[in-house]
Amino acid sequence: MPYTLPEALRGAERLALVVAFGRLSVLEACSTVKSVTKVEVPCERICVVELDPSSVRSVVKLAGIHKFSPLLTHFQGDEAVIRQLVQRITNKIDVSRLALSAYDTDEADYEVLVRLLLDAFREAGFKKIRLLRPKGNELFADQVLSRDALDLITFPYKGGYGLGPTAWVPDVAPMRERGVEKPVPHSGISLSPRLAQLLLNLSGLSPGQRLLDPFCGSGTIISEGALMSLNCVGIDSNPARVAQAKRNLAWVEKQSGRTLAYHVETGDARDFQGRFDGIVTEPILLPRFHSTPSSQKAKQLVNKPSRVYSESLYSMAEAVRKGGRIVIVVPTLKTADGSEVLLRLEETESIGLKEFQPGHVRFEYPVRVAFESTRWLGRAVYVFERV
C-alpha cells in the first residue's frame, strides 16, 4: 500500500516532489501532471510544481518520484513559522515519531531546524515525540512506509528553506518484484520497470491506445505498458529475445490476474508494418566495462549503433500517428578524462519529428537519467512528437 497523509493536509497549491531520476523526473512531472502553472527546480533532488489542488491525484501517477509533500511553509529564520507549521499538522494528526528528510541542506541549518521542530512539537503538547535520525538525513520511501513516522522534508528555497510533510510515497515493491522475479529478470544494467513506467508516462498514451516497442528485448516496456492497459506490440530481431519477452509477459499476465493486450513477434525495427499512437523504446545497450573507457574508445562504442538508430527512427516516424510521441533512450558514457560521450539524434525535423516541449520549462534533449547506479554507462532520453 502507498503511504498517504490525510487529505486535509494536502490542499496546497505548491507541491515539492522528491525526484528519482533528476531532470527526467521533472520532464515526466511537466508532461503528466494536469494544470501545472509553474515549475521550479530549487536543487537537484527537488522539483516544486504549482498546480490546481484538484489535480493532486495525477501526481500519484508519476513513476519518477520518491515522495511528495505540500510545500506548507518557507522558513527564513522566523521561529513563529515553524510553530505555525507544527500547529497546522498537529490539528489534523497525532504524531509520536518524527523525521526531517533534508535535501541539499546545510548540516548546521539542519540541526537548527530539528531543534526548532522538536521545541514546537513539545510546546504543542507532544512531550514524548521521538526523532528518527535516518542515515544521510533522509527517510527513504520504504522507511516512510514501514516506520509509521511523520516525515517532514526540507530543501533550500528562495534564500531560506521550504518545509512540508510527506503526503505520499509510492509502493514500489510490486514493481521491484516484477523486475527480479519474472522468468527472465532484468540484469544490473537493463531498464527497470520503474524507468519503463516513466518512459510510458512520457508517451502521453491513454488506456486502449496502441504502443510499439520495436527493440523489445525481454519485454520490460511492453509488460509495463500492458499493465497500464495499453494495447502493446513488441518487435525484436532476435527470436530468442522474442521467446523471452513472451515468457515474461505470460508471467506478468498471470501475476496480475488480468487479461493483458499484447503481441510480440520477430522483426526488424528498420522495416515493419503497422500504425501506432506512440512508441517507447531502448534500442541498444552498450557492453559492461571493467575500467573507464578512454574518450576515443567511448566515441567508437557510441558511434557504432548510430546507423541502426537513424534507420529505425525513420521507420518509427512513418509508423506513428500525427501528434503521437516517440520516446527513445540513447546511451551515454563517462570517459577516463571525465568527459561524457553520448549518442545524439540529429536532423530529425527532416523526417517529421519535433522535440516535445510540455511547457513551463524548456528541456534540452537528450535529457539525462540521473542517479543511476552504473558507473560509466548511463542513459539519456529524447521525446519527439510527430508533426
Ligand X SMILES: C[S@@+](CC[C@H](N)C(=O)[O-])C[C@H]1O[C@@H](n2cnc3c(N)ncnc32)[C@H](O)[C@@H]1O
List residues binding ligand X (CB under 6 A).
Answer: 190-191, 214-215, 217-218, 220-221, 235-238, 241, 268-270, 282-285, 308
The residue whose grid cell reads 538525513 is 137
Q: Shortest gap between Cβ of 282 and ligand X (angstroms)? A: 4
Nearer to ligand X, 96 or 238 (CB): 238
DSSP, collapsed to helix, strand or coil, labels residue 229 as: coil
Shorter beta-carbon distance to ligand X: residue 70 or 193 = 193
Can you tell me the distance from the alpha carbon of 263 to that of 219, in angstroms, rounded to the nearest whole number? 11
Is 147 or 247 the residue whose CB approaches ligand X more closely?
247
DSSP symbols for 230-281 = -EEEEEES-HHHHHHHHHHHHHHHHHHTS---EEEEE-BTTB----EEEEEE
**Min. distance of Cβ 248 from ligand X in angstroms?**
8
Closest approach, Cβ 233 to ligand X, in A, equals: 12
d(CA 37, CA 54) in angstroms, rounded, equals 13
Q: Could you write out the DSSP letters of every residue in 109-126? A: HHHHHHHHHHHHHHHTT-
Q: Which amino acid is at 362?
A: R
Bridge pairing between strands 377-386 and 367-368: antiparallel
* Least distance CB 23 / ligand X (angstroms): 21
Give the nearest distance from C-beta 230 to ligand X in angstroms: 15
Q: In terms of C-beta density within 10 A (0-12 exposed, 13-18 middle, 19 or more buried), how is residue 254 classed?
A: exposed
Residue with cell 525535423: 349
**Which residue is nearest to ligand X, using beta carbons?**
217
Looking at beta carbons only, is 10 or 186 nearer to ligand X?
Answer: 186
Shortest reach from residue 190's CB to ligand X, in Å: 6
Q: Considering beta carbons, is residue 34 or 307 the nearer one to ligand X?
A: 307
Q: Report whether 12 contacts 53 (CB < 8 A).
A: yes
Sorted by sequence, the CB contacts under 8 Å of residue 126 that are 6+ apart come out as 90, 95, 96
Report the residue count for the chain. Answer: 387
In the complex with ligand X, the residue whose CB is nearer, 29 or 228, is: 228
- Residue number, 56 or 298, with CB nearest to ligand X: 298
Angle between helices 220-227 and 193-203 (to 10 degrees): 60
Q: Closest distance between ligand X and the C-beta of residue 215, in Å?
A: 3
* Smallest separation (angstroms) from ligand X to the CB of 57: 29
In this complex, which beta carbon is closest to ligand X, that of residue 38 or of residue 288? 288
